[in-house]
């Protein structure tokens, strides 16, 4: 394995370990020692890639945007839906997504250290809404930035509620309810009637993404690890 490839693999391993620690303990209680132990690397290796716990948290937030986007569709609002539904599918099984949510929400990190996945998700959704608008898919009153912000905020709230009430067992159902409530005020009727908003949509799209890359997960792509597959 070339040296650069090995370094990337180690970096990824460290980020996955850090994600699982942040996800379980929160930012404040997380320690670099625990990340070292879980990653099975040396302390020196961690510090080679990340100068501090803060850097590790920032790395976890950013890593989720390294993942490939959902497959392109003729209907951009379906891509908008798919984006949220694939993340919904991954949240309970991918520590990077789960830790990203927790770090973003966690208010215990006094002074709001600024770990926030929301701006990245809002920007991604806003681009899709703008594209949808150019294709005539949006109702005339929709303001892409506002609707992207609302979608992101509501998803976070639904995720917290599902986590609290059922340990995320009903997350896909609750997110489907969210889309069923929001899309009628976003999509023109002809598009609305064609949208797939079923609770298992995220799982199906993700399976399609895995199949498209031949069933194997390229390194360095968050959303591309197989569900349940342990980190190497």
Task: Give contact residues for a copy of itself (rule: CB under 8 A).
Answer: 26, 28-29, 102, 105-108, 110, 112, 116, 118, 146-147, 149-150, 152-158, 160-161, 164, 174, 177-178, 180-186
CB closer to a copy of itself out of 110 and 229: 110
Q: Would the CA dihedral through 202, 93, 88, 152 be positive or negative?
A: negative
Least separation in angstroms between residue 130's CB and a copy of itself is 17
Least separation in angstroms between residue 73's CB and a copy of itself is 22
Q: Distance (Å, rounded) from C-alpha 119 to C-alpha 107?
A: 17
* Tokens, residue 90: 């991954």
CB closer to a copy of itself out of 90 and 101: 101
- Percent helix, percent strand, percent coil in the chain, to nearest 5: 65, 0, 30
Least separation in angstroms between residue 149's CB and a copy of itself is 7
Least separation in angstroms between residue 134's CB and a copy of itself is 21
What does R_g of the chain's alpha carbons equal in angstroms?
Answer: 18
CB closer to a copy of itself out of 189 and 214: 189
Residue 226 DSSP symbol? P
User: 180 near 201, Cβ under 8 Å?
Assistant: no
CB closer to a copy of itself out of 162 and 224: 162
CB closer to a copy of itself out of 106 and 196: 106
Nearest residue to 15 (alpha-carbon basis) of 116, 95, 69, 117: 95
CB proximity list for 165: less than 8 A, separation 6 or greater: none
CB closer to a copy of itself out of 62 and 116: 116
Q: Distance (Å, rounded) from C-alpha 148 to C-alpha 145?
A: 5
Least separation in angstroms between residue 161's CB and a copy of itself is 4
Least separation in angstroms between residue 110's CB and a copy of itself is 8
């Amino acid at each position: 394995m070339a040296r650069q490839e090995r370094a990337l693999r180690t970096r990824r391993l460290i980020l996955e370990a850090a994600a699982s620690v942040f996800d379980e303990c929160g930012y404040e209680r997380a320690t670099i020692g625990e990340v070292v132990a879980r990653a099975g690397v040396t302390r020196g290796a961690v510090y080679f890639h990340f100068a501090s716990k803060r850097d590790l948290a920032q790395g976890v937030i950013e890593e989720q945007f390294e993942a490939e986007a959902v497959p392109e569709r003729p209907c951009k609002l379906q891509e908008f839906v798919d984006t949220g539904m694939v993340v919904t599918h991954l949240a309970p099984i991918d520590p990077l997504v789960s830790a990203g949510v927790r770090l973003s929400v966690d208010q215990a990190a006094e002074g709001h250290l600024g770990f926030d996945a929301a701006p990245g998700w809002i920007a991604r959704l806003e681009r899709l809404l703008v594209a949808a608008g150019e294709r005539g898919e949006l109702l005339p009153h929709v303001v892409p930035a506002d609707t992207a912000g609302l979608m992101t905020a509501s998803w976070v709230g639904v995720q917290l509620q599902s986590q609290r009430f059922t340990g995320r067992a009903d997350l896909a159902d609750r997110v489907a309810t969210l889309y069923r409530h929001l899309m009628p005020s976003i999509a023109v009727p002809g598009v609305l009637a064609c949208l797939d908003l079923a609770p298992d949509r995220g799982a199906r799209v993700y399976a399609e993404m895995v199949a498209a890359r031949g069933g194997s997960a390229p390194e360095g792509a968050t959303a591309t690890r197989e569900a349940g597959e342990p980190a190497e």
